[in-house]
Amino acid sequence: MPLLARFRGALARPWVGGTVGIVLLLVLWWAMTANLENSTSFPSPVDVARSAVQDGWSYYGPNVTPTLGRAVQGYLWGNLAGLALAAVVLVVPRLEDVITQLGVISSCLPVVAIGPIVMVIFGGRAAAIFLGALLVFFTTLVGAILGMRSASRSSLDLVAAYGGGRWTQIRKVQLMSALPAIVTALQVAVPAALLGAVVGEYLGGIDSGIGVALNAAQRQIQPDRVWAMSILAGLISLAGYGLVGALGRLLTPWAKERRA
């Protein structure tokens, strides 16, 4: 069957397969909700889209912008801390086990538990930023350390054989092989930073943001808005994920073969 074969071939391209998946998901969603009369919990995609268009930028703008600002700050601080500790491991490899273990501890601190504590000590805005940073820290630290370790033994030996010192090894081999892994970690960190910022808003002490708007929409029983805002937040973090990935590919062209 040539038609089926061509269809299968087309699906091999990620864009086509992904689009088919999303469309299937939307159809499934629509089919599940089409027969529900006036559902208070499960609006159809059409209702959600209508609500999103009706509310428009005047509703989403003031709520999305502050959250984005805090997520970006948390993203920067968390990545900075993660990369700094990874750099310590790079220079003093003996510390790797302990520093990784510290990262594990930081990932075992549940945001729900840390949030109220940070909030009481530093206030609402700082709590949102801190939580974003905390969630970002571990993935970036582990990603960077794994990347450094992936440097091939023979490349390191080659540098040493040509009289290169430890510093040359770090610069020419380990950083080069760590960068692609760091880019991946920075990508994964995007949704994490947004998650931290939104959790921070749920804690209170902040008057506008995605979390605040979601909370309000939920209490006023506006499921259309809850769904529209949730999907928007997902799209934002997906866009961030794609943006960081594209920047990373531009900055680390030598990683192309490995990704393909």
Partner 1 sequence: MNRGTGAFVARRVGTLALAVLVALGVWVAVLAVFDVSPLIGKRPWDVFAYVVTDEGAAEHRAAIAADLAVTVKDAGIGYLVGLAAAFVLAVLFAVSPVLERIVMPTAMVLRSIPLVVLTPLITLIFGIGQTGVTAIVIIVVFLPALANILYGLRSVSGEHRDLVLAYGGSAWTVLRKVALPAAVPSTLASARIAVPSAVTGAMIAEWLSTGQGLGGAISRAAGSFGYDAMWASAITVAAVTMLAYAVVSIADSLVQERMGQLT
Residue 222 in the binding site for partner 1 (CB under 8 A):
no
Complex with partner 1: residue 24 or 165, whichever CB lies closer: 24
Binding residue for partner 1, selected from 31, 34, 42, 88, defined by CB under 8 A: 42
Complex with partner 1: residue 31 or 238, whichever CB lies closer: 238
Q: Give the interface segment with partner 1, choosing from 56-64, 155-163, 166-174, 193-201 (CB under 8 A).
A: 193-201
Which residues within the stretch 104-123 sit at the binding site for partner 1 (CB under 8 A)? Answer: 104-105, 107-114, 116-117, 119-122
Neighbours of 237 (CB within 10 A): 18
- B/e letters for 119-132, b = 16+ CB within 10 Å, e = fewer, are beeeebbbbbbbbb
Query: Rounded distance, CA 228 to CA 223, Å?
Result: 8
User: In the numeric block, which tokens belong to residue 210?
Assistant: 């995605």
Binding residue for partner 1, selected from 21, 62, 123, 165, defined by CB under 8 A: 21
Binding residue for partner 1, selected from 133, 144, 179, 195, defined by CB under 8 A: 195
Residue 30 in the binding site for partner 1 (CB under 8 A):
no
Residue by residue, DSSP assigns 4-60 as: HHHHHHHHTSHHHHHHHHHHHHHHHHHHHHHTSTT-SS---HHHHHHHHHHHHHHHH
- How many residues contact partner 1, by CB under 8 A? 56
Total residue length of the chain: 260
Complex with partner 1: residue 46 or 171, whichever CB lies closer: 46
Contact 67, 232 (CB under 8 A): no
Query: Rounded distance, CA 173 to CA 177, Å?
Result: 6
Query: Rounded distance, CA 33 to CA 53, Å?
Result: 20
Complex with partner 1: residue 7 or 171, whichever CB lies closer: 7
Binding residue for partner 1, selected from 47, 76, 87, 202, defined by CB under 8 A: 202
Query: Environment class of residue 48 by beta-carbon count within 10 Å: exposed (0-12), middle (13-18) or buried (19+)?
Result: buried
Q: How far is the CB of 163 from partner 1 (least distance, A)?
A: 28
CA atoms lying within 13 Å on the CB side of residue 197: 27
Which residues of the chain form contacts with partner 1 (CB under 8 A)?
Answer: 8, 11-12, 14, 16-18, 20-22, 24-25, 41-42, 97-98, 101-102, 104-105, 107-114, 116-117, 119-122, 190-191, 194-195, 198-199, 202, 210-211, 214, 218, 223, 226-227, 229-231, 233-234, 237-238, 241
